[in-house]
Structure 1
Amino acid sequence: MSMSTARQSLWPIGKDAQYLGPHQGTEPIDVTVVMRRRGTHPTPAAWPHKPPCKREEFDAQWGADPADAEKIRGFAQQHGLTETGCELHRRVMHLRGTPQQLQQAFGVQLGSYQMPDGGPIKRGCHGKPTLPSDISSSVVAVLGLDQRPVARPHFRRLAAAAAATSYTPLQVGELYGFPSTADGAGQTVAIIELGGGYTASDFTQYMQSLGITKIPKVDVVSVAGGTSQPGGDADGEVMLDVEVIGALAQGASIAVYFAPNTDQGFYEAISQAAHDSTRNPSVISISWGGPEDSWASTTLAAMESALQDAVTLGVTVTAASGDSGSTDGESDGQQHVDYPSSSAYVLACGGTKLTGSGSKISGEVVWNELAKNEGATGGGVSAGFALPSWQASAKVPAGAKGSSGRGVPDVAGNADPETGYQVRVGGQDQVIGGTSAVAPLWAALIARFNQQLGQNVGDVHEALYGIGTKAFHDITKGNNGAFKAASGWDACTGWGSPKGQALLTALSSLKGSSGAG
């Protein structure tokens, strides 16, 4: 049995599916056409020198060109497709058509695919959608033809037999020196969920059990037909995310965006959260992902554009780096990193095994329980994204075939299920770990920073890489398979786990030195 088989058999992704034959259904299909942005590429808001772009300015500068939308509209009408919505600021047009109409319009073949282990039959798309030459340059991607899942949640329940230490999120926050002067008030933290459900009574009972009397507001947002559906295994992911953020950013509001686990759903959830002018999140937490090489190139281009929108608007995106070590659960024996954590627009969150009490850490090493088939932190070198300028001096190792690429993760936090988080799911108290816990941990910390600094930190990479080890617990012991921990940045835990107050002080001093106000 491979290190990842037990966990990931629950969460197969599209490339694991078996082709059964042509798609036989006749039900209409809703697709999202992602349009190119007008103008050149926007510059992400980066603490403290580049403040967030105002929404109205973004829409005028970086939304879709109405002329592009008109061209696509004419194409859709030629093929009998119905337009069900268009949002130029988000660069999306929604079209509906029969399978036959869509196959003809986009030059693809729709098939039926069996998910492994007798799972559901899903519609899949063979071939890359094609468009006439006068339109193709206007379109980044056509999403929604393929229903196969693109991501898995990065959480791990503690095996019943394992002897373990466990912590509440409050205890982890104390060990990491989360600043006591801020609780996230005035901030909204968005959470992306591609399955599972949220149970308000569990959250309320959990917060009360921690002695928290003012229960944070939680909004459930339905995206692209996705809904909160409690009762499945992914509830562990949802409640872990909400409870970690609720405990560690008690003054913040929380918005949970539920979308289908498809390329369309994932893109729409990030895009809608980034552009949500009602809830106005300043942080987005993502605990789902899949190996880089499992993504279609056009889907990656669309996802990257949505993440770029987020950071341009000053929204920090945190993402789990994966729970299957340096292979990311692939069976080819090669190194792989997980997407979206490998995006340069995302703060990639790796995992540690943490021991300590009160505010004193007695030990912290790379999370690696592969020998027990209990997972390990993801991390490594991207095969698809170049080395960012802010990572140039981090000594990122060579990737596959000696290539240079974006190093993953950036930061880390407690993730080992054997030192996991006490949470409440389905009316039961449980212990859950995984890098899924680290993305919301950092999201809560960023929300506190935003409140205290009086401005969204946005894309915080350049600042963190400039600050370096002085504001982190540098993890120097352990490995995640192919990569070993080392002094400074490494491909297991990035810079390490946070020294919360020290990091806030360092960010504050950057603001002062830049003259930003």
Structure 2
Amino acid sequence: MGHRAGVSISVPGCVLICLAICLGAMPAPQRALAQESVSRLSGSGSSSSSPAASMVSRVLLLLKPAAAQTKALDALLMAQQTSGGGSFHQWLTPTQYAAQFAPSAADAAKVTGWLRAQGMTVAPLPASRGWIEFSGTRQQLEQSFQTRLTAAASGPDGVPRLRFAGLPTIPAALQSLVAGVVSLDGSLAEAALTPVALLPDHPRALVSARSLSTATALTPALLGGAIGVSASPSSSTGVNDSGTGNSGALPGAGETIAIPARSDVYVEDFAGFRQTFGLPVGDTLLTVSPNGADPGHTADEAAAQAMASWATAVAPGAKVVVVPAATTNATDGVDLALAAIVDGALAHTVSVGYANCEVAMSAAHEAFYAALYRQAAAEGIAAIAATGDSGAAGCQAEGTGSLVASGYAVNGLASTPWNTAVGAGVVNAAGSGQVGSGTAQLAGWGQSATTDPAYATGGGASAMYATPDWQAAAGLPASDPGTSAGHHRYLPDVVLPGAFSGSGSGTSLSANSGGAAFCFSGDQAPGGCRLVSASGSAIASAVMAGVAAELAARYGPQGNLAPNLYRLARAGASAGSSGGTTSATSSVTASSAGATANSAETATNSSAQASAVTDVLSGSALLYCKAGSPDCGGGSASADSASTTGSGAANTIGFAAAPGFDLATGLGTVNAPALLAQWANPDATGTQQDQVEMTNLNGLTYNPSTYIDLTAKVTSLSGGAVPTGTIQFYDATSQQNAGSPVTMASDGTASYTEPAQFTVGGHNIEAIYSGDSNYAGGTSLPVTFNIQPSLTTIVIAPSTTSPSPGGSVTVTGTVTSPNLGNSPPTGLMTLNLDGIPQGTAKLTTTSGVTTASYNLTAPTSGSHTLQGIYSGDVNYNQSTSSSVTIAIARQATVVAITATPAKLTAATPESFTASIAPAAATTSYTITGTVTFYDGTTLLGTAIIASNTALLADITLSPSVAHSITAVYSGDTTWATSTSSPLVLEPILLPVTVALTSSSPGLSPGQAANLTATVTPVATPVATVEQNPTGNVFFYAGTALIGEAAVTAGLADTGMATLTVPNLQGGQYQLTAVYSGDTVYGGATSNALGFDVENFTISSTTTNITIVQGQSATVPYTITATGGLTGAIQVLCGEQNPPQKGAITCMFNPSIVNGTGTTTLTVTTSAGVVAANRKPDRRSPWLPVTGGVALGFVGLLLAPVGRRARWLRSFAARSVVLAVLLLVGMVGASLGCGSSTPSGSSSTGGTPLGVATLQITGAAYVNTVTVSHNSYLTVNVIP
């Protein structure tokens, strides 16, 4: 084997290779995420000491839709809020949203593929395909995003958190698909709620407090004077509005309010709140649906519990789902929970009670909320977001004990144009914004003294979003606070009760006043009601969420509420009802059962007259600030604010309540009954009487799939102009709206096509008129629609009534109905054959014709009955067809016959098998009857068919003649008769055996041997047939024919054929003899006979050599044995030609080779001196050599042969003989060679120069014969 090549590399070479590897392994070009802000991310965070292998969990990566998609989405959002348009309130599912407004699945896969390639674990994509959640090690994130991770401020529960130290980057190829990394910007939202305070009152005492002079905290019963609601258990609705046609159900019934949180809550506390304050208690009114691992009960529990409790104070029939998510070291749990709510479309209303400084978040984080709220609005979800409790300084920590120094900022979770921003107001008799005849009023909420904790309702201008088109109202700032230019989204939109300042809790309107009561176990075991109170915009957002749930229950999902709130506010202002002076819409009376509503008669149409949005004129949202800090000194207290201590307005930051829109209370607060009554038509302010009637016929029956045209008309009862506005068709039976409000035509009519949404049964449909600037709204008497499945008829028709057995018959059933709906009959047709079901086929409708087709395999011949049965569906009843008869003819068959044994055999009976099959291929069949077998015309017998075959056994036939066998099938009721093709059995030939022998098992070249083939009948032939085989025998060596011999009679009944083996080359052979047979005896092949022809060859790759006189040379020779020769082969060097005057000596080593082997010839020349003046020897130099060789071969010839030579057959004896012969030959040769020295005149002597020939001879004793072979070597002697 060869040596392996080694490779050595110099040190400089190693350096170059390393550089090449490093350059090749460099990542693809990276580009910083342009929307990230270095200043926002740099901060003062120190390097985290967490190991590189530690996990960074649930990181969010925001995907970027195309610019055209974003533009189309904004257009859709506007169209969804435009009454009368084709897209009005046509909400999307998350999947539909993804298809229209998200990156494609292929693009998202590119990003997830890159993340996985970095080693990240990627969570399943959200249905909307708006973002990607992934986790990885710290090292993986740092390497992937090309920046370090440092420690960030821990959350309220001490969870260690991380943030990027610089701009995260991604490959440039993905830049157009990724908006940025939402997580790891160091910001964390805080709950918009003050710390809880334990209320000293017994729950019964607080419940019994019916006025602000006695109450120590806000209760559901005290909401009436603030927003016009009553949460009394004796009231059927929370909102005192009896003209809604929904008097039989709790407000908000059928709706769900979702609350994102970072803590679990106790259902027992929720139930305790409802039981304590007389609200309905249900097992399923509150559910907790964690997003990811349940975070358990954390520091945010009070905020989640307060929001869950107060969300249903206005809508006690609504369900609440709290979605808690744990904050990870990368991502705020609020973000994870909110994403789960919106992407899962868990509710039509979501209340977000958290705040985070807008400008402290990364651009991607801000964009994340915009994307979520955009999606929520498109799905019809009303996103209600608290404005936070840091007043105008949204970057200031809530409740800080130090002076504010951070300047203007707002809550980034509430500042988008696609959510409703809700601030907190103080419920107090000294306030303004009275909406009813009660004593409770609402005022702005802020810090009254420097000694108060720094709480105030959030408000101001966004730094991110321009003023949306719909945000138009009297009092809206001409420019952003602190600037002379700029016009952005302004907060809040409205304020709702979030703080309390009754006589029992103090008279201050400050942030240090009392709060809203709720049950909170805290660190105690849940049970009963441990009353606490707290304030904050989180509670205000929950109350507004209850109002939103009532809107959804009445009008269906509404999406973003803010645009319509501004329309309602503008309508109220134009009607001159901006203050709290509208007619009474509710009252709060003291009773043991709680607050109750006025009678329905008192409230009829009054809600339509009141303003839906009531301005708040008192209070402020001020915080004390550090002199000289940004925006400090820009605050001013309202005229009716409580007196303050400290340095006054000059050292405050914030805003005061004022007429119209202001940045402390927004548009004001809502008058819930008026809001509900006017929501569908903000312009309904009229008082004239009208008549609303359904114009459909009463009592008609419709198919459940029928699109029913609902029609109504509104007529003036005063003879005035035709009423305008909208009509909402309402199903009083299911308490659901039928579609969206419909704009009335110029004749006062409206129609709506109900798209088969009514369930089976009776439905009482009402028309609810919105009213307009002249006419009050109203509701019609109901019209009853009966929804029942329609009768059907099925008729079947086979493709043929006379099929062949086993053939295919297509049976088509046609289903009709006298009362078709918009959906045709669906379901299955079952086909019966003779009363037995054969299978089913699905109904399809083409060009208005509903059919089902079944392919039937025709049964046995005869008459059969078909019948089709329609299964029916939710819209159509079952039906059965009339019977149809088909007649089936017998089917053609084929018969195949086989014999066993396949050939006639002497003294062996035959068995015949007939296989019957259909003439036309089919997969399954059963044939019965009999088969009759014939030999020519002679009957052999009849057999019964079993498993489609018939067997006739033990039939004896003459072996000496041919036979023609046929099978005739009788047929049965299904299958027709048929006859097989003849099966011919030829006469049989007698079997023989052939034995091959040889006169000698082996040969030497030139010898011959006789081969004898003996052909013997297997059985003694009967006297009537030929006794001895005749014909020819062919002899083969392997596959080669070596001869042919005629068969002659041998001993007894045998035949003999003899062949003399020709002269075969040496080798081993397998000999066989093939008897060709004759008319009586069959052919046969003999046994294989091993036969050896022993021989050998002697050869060399060298045929000539050149030797310098006086030197020697060697030549290798190969001895190759053939024919199994393994004995000794003698090799020697023979005569020289021409005769030599000098001497050439040649000798083999070894001189004897056994079988195949190698030997080496050594040739030696002489340079000796010859004596002078001797006469030359005239003898030929060939004589000595020839004489020596001859002498050796004479010895071989005289060696004993035959039996006398048996002792030579052993290897040792052969070796002795060959050695002796070699010795004799060498002596003879030496005698000749010894006399070859020349004589004469002086000479240099030695081997003459020139060319001489040596004869190489090999000899072996093979099969008593000496075999020899020669080879020649040319020697060229040079000086």
User: What TM-score range do you get, normalising by the shorter chain?
Assistant: 0.7 to 0.9
Is the counterpart of residue 223 in structure 1 residue 251 in structure 2? no
Larger deviation, residues 75-84 vs 417-426: 75-84
The alpha-carbon deviation at position 247 of structure 1 amounts to: 3.0
Q: Which residue is equivalent to 1:375?
A: 455
Shift of 1:244: 0.5
Does 2:448 correspond to 1:448? Answer: no
Counterpart residue number, 1:203: 270
Distance in 2 separating the partners of 1:203 and 1:81? 40
Correspondence 1:96-115 to 2 at 5 A: 96-115=135-154
Is 1:29 the counterpart of 2:56 in the alignment? yes
Bigger shift: residues 376-385 or 160-169: 160-169
Q: Secondary structure in 2 aligned to 1:137?
A: helix
Check conservation: 1:29, 1:145, Cα contact below 8 A.
Answer: no
User: Matches of 1:122 and 1:105 in 2, distance apart?
Assistant: 19
Is 2:177 aligned against 1:138? yes
Q: Is the 8 A contact 1:110 1:125 kept in 2?
A: yes
Mapped to 1, the partners of 2:518 and 2:362 lie a distance apart of 35
Find the aligned partners of 2:199 and 2:134 in 1 and give their Cα distance. 51
**Structure 1: how far apart are the matches of 2:135 and 2:462?**
36
**2:55 maps to amino acid:** P
Alignment of 1:350-361 (within 5 A): 350-355=423-428, 360-361=438-439
**Structure 1 CA distance for aligned equivalents of residues 130 and 106 of structure 2:** 12
Residues 113-122 or 341-350, more deviating: 113-122
Tell me which residue corresponds to 1:6: none
1:295-444 pair list within 5 angstroms: 295-328=361-394, 330=396, 331-355=404-428, 360-371=438-449, 372-373=452-453, 375-397=455-477, 398-399=479-480, 400-402=482-484, 403-417=486-500, 418-426=513-521, 427=526, 428-444=530-546
**Structure 1, residues 487-507: CA drift from partner, whole Å, max 9, x if none?**
111111111111101111111
The aligned residue for residue 227 of structure 2 is 176
CA separation of 1:16/1:107 partners in 2, compared to 1, >3 Å: closer, same or farther?
closer
Distance of aligned partners of 1:410 and 1:290 in 2 relative to their CA distance in 1, 3 Å threshold: same
* Cα contact 2:425–2:443 (8 A) shared by 1: yes
For the 8 Å contact 2:199–2:533, the answer to whether it is kept is no
- Who is 1:3 aligned against? none
Cα offsets for 1:136-174 (capped at 9, x unmatched): 11012224446x452001111466799974221243156
Corresponding residue for residue 472 of structure 1: 613
Q: Distance in 1 between matches of 2:440 and 2:118?
A: 65
- The structural deviation recorded for 1:208 is 1.2
Distance 1:88 1:274, change over 3 A: closer
Could you tell me which runs of 5 or more consecutive residues in structure 2 were left unpaired when the two chains were aligned.
1-39, 201-213, 230-238, 241-246, 397-403, 501-512, 570-577, 579-610, 623-653, 683-724, 728-740, 744-751, 753-1279
Supply the distance in 1 between the matched residues of 2:105 and 2:411 (Cα, whole angstroms). 35
SS of equivalent residue, structure 2 residue 531: strand
CA–CA separation in structure 1 for the residues paired with 2:156 and 2:349: 36
Match of residue 54, structure 1, among 81, 92, 114: 92
Identify the residue that residue 1140 of structure 2 maps to in structure 1.
Answer: none
**Deviation sequence 1:356-383 (CA, Å, 0-9, x none):** 5996135432112341226221111112
Cα distance in 1, alignment partners of residues 190 and 382 from structure 2: 21
Q: Comparing both structures, which one devotes a greater share of its residues to helix?
A: 1
Q: Which amino acid is 1:89 matched to?
A: S
Which structure shows the bigger proportion of residues in strand conformation?
Answer: 2
- Asked whether the equivalents of residues 356 and 395 of structure 2 are also in contact (C-alpha less than 8 Å), the reply is no
Q: CA contact under 8 A between 1:285 and 1:439: conserved in structure 2?
A: yes
Amino acid at match of 1:150: L
1:61-105 C-alpha deviation (Å, 9 max, x unpaired)? 123311212221332243233333223524233333221112111
Contact 1:17 1:116 in 2 (8 A): no
User: Is the Cα–Cα contact under 8 Å of residues 616 and 668 in structure 2 kept in the other structure?
Assistant: yes
User: Which TM-score applies when normalising by structure 1?
Assistant: 0.88
One-letter amino acid of the structure 2 residue matched with residue 96 of structure 1: S
Give the superposition deviation at 1:222.
Answer: 1.7
Matched residue of 1:40: which SS? helix
Q: What do residues 460-482 of structure 1 show as CA deviations (whole Å, max 9, x unaligned)?
A: 22211111142223111222123
| 1:264 positional shift | 5.3
CA deviations 1:19-56 (Å, max 9, x no partner) are 24454352233423222236512133426453142314
Taking a change above 3 Å as real, the CA distance of residues 365 and 74 of structure 1, as seen in their structure-2 partners, is: closer
TM-superposed CA distance for 1:263, in Å, is 4.3
Aligned to 2:742: 515
Counterpart CA distance in 1 for 2:114 and 2:489 is: 38
Match of 2:169, as an amino acid?
Answer: T
- The alignment status of 1:491 with 2:663, answered yes or no, reads yes
Counterpart for residue 906 of structure 2: none
Query: Are the aligned partners of 1:257 and 1:273 in contact in 2 as well (CA < 8 Å)?
Result: yes
The answer to whether the Cα contact below 8 Å between 1:33 and 1:141 also exists between their aligned partners in 2 is yes
* Counterpart for residue 308 of structure 2: 242
**Residue 151 of structure 1 pairs with residue 205 of structure 2:** no
**One-letter identity of the residue aligned with 1:51:** H
Give yes or no for contact 1:191–1:284 (8 Å, CA) kept in 2.
yes
> Is 2:36 aligned against 1:40?
no
Give the deviation of 1:15 after TM superposition. 9.3
Shift of 1:184: 0.6
Change (3 A) 1:375 1:310: same
Could you report, residue by residue, the CA deviation over 1:428-467 in whole angstroms, capped at 9, with x for unpaired residues? 21111111110010000010111112x2121122211111
**Segment drifting more, 380-389 vs 45-54:** 45-54
Percent identity over paired residues: 23
Quote the Cα distance in structure 2 between the aligned partners of 1:450 and 1:107.
47
Q: Which has the higher contact order (CA 8 A, sep 6+)?
A: 1
Match of 2:834 in 1: none
Q: Which moved more, 1:296-305 or 1:251-260?
A: 251-260
Q: Map Cα deviations across residues 215-237 of structure 1 (whole Å, 9 max, x no partner).
A: 25222122244x2422x442210
Query: 1:241 Cα deviation (Å)?
Result: 0.4
Question: Which residue in 1 is equivalent to 2:1219?
Answer: none
Counting matched residue pairs gives 498
Q: Counterpart amino acid of 1:138?
A: L
TM-score normalized with structure 2 length: 0.37
Summarize the Cα distance change of 1:376–1:74 in structure 2 as closer, same or farther, 3 Å threshold.
Answer: closer
Name the residue aligned to 1:5. Answer: none
Q: C-alpha separation between the residues in 2 aligned to 1:17 and 1:359?
A: 55
User: Cα distance 1:114–1:189, how it changes in 2: closer, same or farther (>3 A)?
Assistant: closer
Q: Do 2:312 and 2:543's aligned partners in 1 also have CA atoms closer than 8 Å? A: no
Q: RMSD over aligned Cα, in angstroms?
A: 3.0
